Structure 1
Amino acid sequence: MKSIRKKTRRPKKRKVWLGVLLAAIAGLFLGGLLGTATGIILSTDESLQPPPLAWNGMRDPINLLVMGTDVANSNRSPGLTGNTDTMLLLNIDPRTNKVKGLSIPRDTRVPIPGHRVFKINAANPYGGPTLAMKTVSQYLTVPVHRYILLNTRGLIEAIDAIGGVDVTIPKRVYYQDHHGDLHIDFQKGSHHLSGKQAQEYLRFRHDELGDIGRVQRQQKFLMELVDQFLRPAVLLKAPTLLQIINKNSKTDLGPMEILQLVNFGKGLKGSRDFQMVMIPGAFQNIDGLSFWNADLSPIQEYLSAHFRGSLKAPTPEVSASPRRPTVSIFDGCGKRLAVKEARRRLESSGYVIREIKRTENQAETQVIVQLGDLEKADSILEALGVGKKVEASLGDIYSDFTVILGSDWKDSKPPEK
């Protein structure tokens, strides 16, 4: 894709933070009520520079970088110049009517152009959203057409505006920081969260997976939030939501581009039209700082299929033998022989079992597609004979797939030959 300079456009300020962006592709869209229906089309910020890449509207896919800042400014109100606590690259494709997402952990160690090799979340304070876009583009070898930069107050206000959000919390999260005035304590189970409670839950990262665990919680939260933002009752709150968005973010999307995205959003059917993947890797400590040492090789096909367009993928390293995909099996059926049979079927289909561990009982078998390979996920489902795909990076971060066996697997029969 050529790098084309466009005439200086006047970007604007709006906010959707992660939760509200998939309220901006599921909530910003809000059935086409936003934009002209409300009579509010974004204030402008003439200090912003136009993006380096052209986009021909909804005739072509767009890569949209969504960033949420993690710090307040000097008067303790939410700002837009701090580290990006959240980075999510979205590919919005009108040809398939699907949205593909790539979560970028905030501690990912990358070269920041003109600066140093450091955490990717520093690109925004170093050089604003333009440098953040350039950093992501060069690191992933993908075009980045537009951005949305958000602060956390918009998330709080938007969720409060719709009366809160329903969330399923898989395990207790607890953290107390009296100095920082951060108090997090949510028991496992179903919860109806206010905006402030949702922010606290999404900020939590004090478990064994640290920021990676937070990315997983954010992905699960977003998938639930999308469906709730598309409810008819929420559509009636579109004018209020747009005002909240307008005052809590900035973007280089133009007014007509927003309207085109609105029209695209009308055809979305909720979370089933979204797929989420997280950049894989491993924790690494360098000079006392914790980094996410990313490994892009397992997601190169995902990037090429959905984000790269005409850009050529990096030349892969030559391997003596192809890497066999790995699977972790979580036993949610409580039957040792059933787990043994699942392992046998998967190994017979060419998969390497990374680990097997007990988890809480559940009714339905799930295949979590950690790295975006839906074709192999279908082959796993075929081998098992039951289950459904979960298109998000919610499983074992060191495996390509996670199979959670439910009670439906316990009673399943081997597929007929």
Structure 2
Amino acid sequence: MGACVIPNQCEISVRDGVNQESNEFPKRAPDQATAVGDRPARSPDTVSKSASYPDATTGRVGMRMSQWIQRSLVLATAVGTSAVLGATVALFTPASVNLIPDQPLQNLSVLDLWRKGVHYPITRPVNILVMGVDEPLDEGVGDPMDGRSDTMLLVRLDPESHTISVLSIPRDTQVDIPLQGVTKVNHANAMGGARMAADVVSANLNNIEIDRYVRVNTEAFRQLVDLVGGVEVFVPYDMQYTDLTQGLEIDLQQGQQVLNGDQAEQFVRFRNDGYGDIGRVQRQQQLIRALRDRLTSPSFLPRVPQAVDLLQSYIDTNLTVEEMLALVDFGLDLTSEDFRMVMLPGRFSSPDEFIASYWLMDINGRDQVLADYFDVRASGLANRFDRQTVQDLRIAVQNASGEPQIATQVVNYLYDQGFDHVYVVQDWPLPQSQTQIIVQRGDYSGATSLGTVLGVGKVVAASTGDLESDLTIRVGEDWLDHSPAEQLDNWR
């Protein structure tokens, strides 16, 4: 038995008659299945018995956990998009926290828990698979959590590096599902539930260990956005599209605006932009940060009980009570710089390769992301991937300064510094004061080095830049103030 994730709490009774002998994010108990909230538990016969992923385990949360504990669930699972805004963004939500080492959770009233808080630390890195599940078109048919995963995020909470890393896995990623063959990764949950989904993700990501899962449906996402008063995002262009598969009518206008729940769903589900599922992933990451801003606002705290009531019917997870509290506590002192997002590197398939449209993983890029963000390397291939120097990276330059020709000036400057793979992309329509260096394919150290060369800018760990780039520079107004006047004159 390994060391406890939550020290001094290896003998905690979660509910009457159920004891948790170890809180180390234990292995699956194949014959047990319990769901969080008011929905019934999944039958173990409905998932693959050959999988090695932890399904429900002894000591999981009962159907009627206390509201404060459910509050922790809200804070620990409000990250995903289109159905989840995941298991981490809301970890930044402030709360009062006191260590209560000797009081079993069930002996404290809801009010006591609300006032006092409960504190558990995480002692080792934890990987959580977060899935946003499509709603079935025919209501009342089957388990609502057994649909295809519209959103799939692998979240790592690492107390050693003091970071949260989120890997967005495009729903069209090509994988091989046992007994099904080659298909898209979003089919895995529908074919075998959370266990199969985790097995498939692990097998395709260098056998990474997945400790827990969270599944949420789209209704929770829409209502949560409404509850926090909407989310402020920049819609880069008009979006008009009808999603026949989900009965969704999309109609958004370009510009900076606050989106309600229905509009936020439209924003992240829009596909008719030439980028398909990958454009959706980028907007999901944009919305994750916007929702985080709302959840960290002091004005949100009085609404937590409403969020609890709202979400409890829409969440399925095998996190224990103590684990939820530990995850919440971990995020309390993290900053936005400690929160890193990246998309699984790859490319679109071509029609002459496959009839269906797939996102084909870039094996070298995948291995680098897993090594840098998840501390996982392919077995026997510890340093197999080729790490490029910053001068070898493909760098897109996007003007967001409001001044014409600035992108070309930056490209010329980088050419002078020895960068050969630099190119201009279409201007960003919303002027911004600060330059951003966007880590499109996960090379955070390369972005940091590029920032040193530029002398301005903030590294943004998200895959929201140009899809063809390794790094995207979104040039802000600070470049105008930083650049020597004689250089600007020469470039002009």
Class of the TM-score when normalised by the shorter of the 2 chains: 0.7 to 0.9
1:130-166 per-position Cα deviation (integer Å, ceiling 9, x unaligned): 0110111110111111110110011112222223222
1:327-352 per-position Cα deviation (integer Å, ceiling 9, x unaligned): 0112334443x544422443354534
Shift of 1:102: 0.6
- CA distance change for structure 1 residues 31 and 113 in 2, over 3 Å: closer, same or farther? farther
1:279-305 per-position Cα deviation (integer Å, ceiling 9, x unaligned): 122111354311111203124233123
The answer for the alignment partner of 1:290 in structure 2 is 357
2:228 paired with 1:158 = no
Shift of 1:364: 2.7
Match of 1:98 among 156, 163, 185: 163
The answer for the alignment partner of 1:331 in structure 2 is 399
Shift of 1:6: 5.3
The answer to whether the 8 A contact 1:64-1:89 is kept is yes
2:128 paired with 1:60 = no
Moved more, 11-20 or 105-114: 11-20
Match of 2:288 among 211, 222, 230: 222
- CA distance change for structure 1 residues 254 and 313 in 2, over 3 Å: closer, same or farther? farther
The residue type equivalent to 1:328 in the other structure is A
The within-5 A match list for 1:362-381 is 362-381=432-451
TM-score by length of 2: 0.72
The answer for the alignment partner of 1:107 in structure 2 is 172
The residue type equivalent to 1:343 in the other structure is V
The within-5 A match list for 1:250-329 is 250-269=316-335, 271-284=336-349, 285=351, 286-308=353-375, 312=379, 314=381, 324-329=392-397
Moved more, 104-113 or 4-13: 4-13
Say which SS state the counterpart of residue 282 (structure 1) adopts. strand
- CA distance change for structure 1 residues 24 and 281 in 2, over 3 Å: closer, same or farther? closer
- CA distance change for structure 1 residues 38 and 392 in 2, over 3 Å: closer, same or farther? farther
Match of 2:272 among 174, 195, 206: 206
Q: Distance in 1 between matches of 2:367 and 2:109?
A: 41
- CA distance change for structure 1 residues 299 and 37 in 2, over 3 Å: closer, same or farther? farther
Q: Distance in 2 between matches of 1:266 and 1:318?
A: 35
The residue type equivalent to 1:327 in the other structure is I
The answer to whether the 8 A contact 2:225-2:291 is kept is no
Shift of 1:247: 0.8
Say which SS state the counterpart of residue 27 (structure 1) adopts. helix
The within-5 A match list for 1:65-84 is 65-72=129-136, 74-75=138-139, 79-84=144-149
Shift of 1:21: 5.6
Identity over aligned pairs, percent: 34
Q: Distance in 1 between matches of 2:417 and 2:324?
A: 46
Shift of 1:81: 0.8
Q: CA RMSD in A?
A: 3.4
Q: Distance in 1 between matches of 2:483 and 2:163?
A: 34
The answer for the alignment partner of 2:423 in structure 1 is 355
The answer for the alignment partner of 2:154 in structure 1 is 89
The residue type equivalent to 1:291 in the other structure is Y
1:244-279 per-position Cα deviation (integer Å, ceiling 9, x unaligned): 22210201111111111121122233x333111011
- CA distance change for structure 1 residues 127 and 267 in 2, over 3 Å: closer, same or farther? same
- CA distance change for structure 1 residues 397 and 262 in 2, over 3 Å: closer, same or farther? same
The answer to whether the 8 A contact 2:235-2:257 is kept is yes
Shift of 1:229: 0.7
Say which SS state the counterpart of residue 290 (structure 1) adopts. coil
The answer to whether the 8 A contact 1:26-1:268 is kept is no
Q: Distance in 1 between matches of 2:96 and 2:465?
A: 36
Say which SS state the counterpart of residue 389 (structure 1) adopts. strand
Structure 1 or 2: larger strand share?
1
TM-score by length of 1: 0.84
2:480 paired with 1:410 = yes
2:465 paired with 1:395 = yes
Shift of 1:22: 5.0
The residue type equivalent to 1:295 in the other structure is D
1:58-89 per-position Cα deviation (integer Å, ceiling 9, x unaligned): 10011111101123153268921111111011
Moved over 6 A (4+): 1-4, 33-37, 318-323
Shift of 1:385: 1.7
Say which SS state the counterpart of residue 128 (structure 1) adopts. helix
The answer to whether the 8 A contact 1:67-1:87 is kept is yes
Shift of 1:189: 1.5
The answer for the alignment partner of 2:58 in structure 1 is none
| Ranges in structure 1 where 5+ consecutive residues have no aligned partner | 42-55
- CA distance change for structure 1 residues 283 and 302 in 2, over 3 Å: closer, same or farther? closer
The answer to whether the 8 A contact 2:231-2:287 is kept is no
- CA distance change for structure 1 residues 180 and 85 in 2, over 3 Å: closer, same or farther? closer
The answer for the alignment partner of 1:197 in structure 2 is 263
Say which SS state the counterpart of residue 286 (structure 2) adopts. helix
The answer to whether the 8 A contact 1:164-1:195 is kept is yes
| Ranges in structure 2 where 5+ consecutive residues have no aligned partner | 3-24, 38-76, 98-104, 114-119, 486-492
1:374-400 per-position Cα deviation (integer Å, ceiling 9, x unaligned): 221122112112222221001111110
Q: Distance in 2 between matches of 1:4 and 1:364?
A: 45
Shift of 1:314: 4.1
Say which SS state the counterpart of residue 235 (structure 1) adopts. helix
1:352-371 per-position Cα deviation (integer Å, ceiling 9, x unaligned): 43531340344332211112
Say which SS state the counterpart of residue 212 (structure 1) adopts. helix
Q: Distance in 2 between matches of 1:84 and 1:402?
A: 29
Q: Distance in 2 between matches of 1:171 and 1:152?
A: 24
Q: Distance in 2 between matches of 1:194 and 1:130?
A: 33
2:196 paired with 1:131 = yes
- CA distance change for structure 1 residues 229 and 313 in 2, over 3 Å: closer, same or farther? farther
The answer to whether the 8 A contact 1:21-1:27 is kept is no
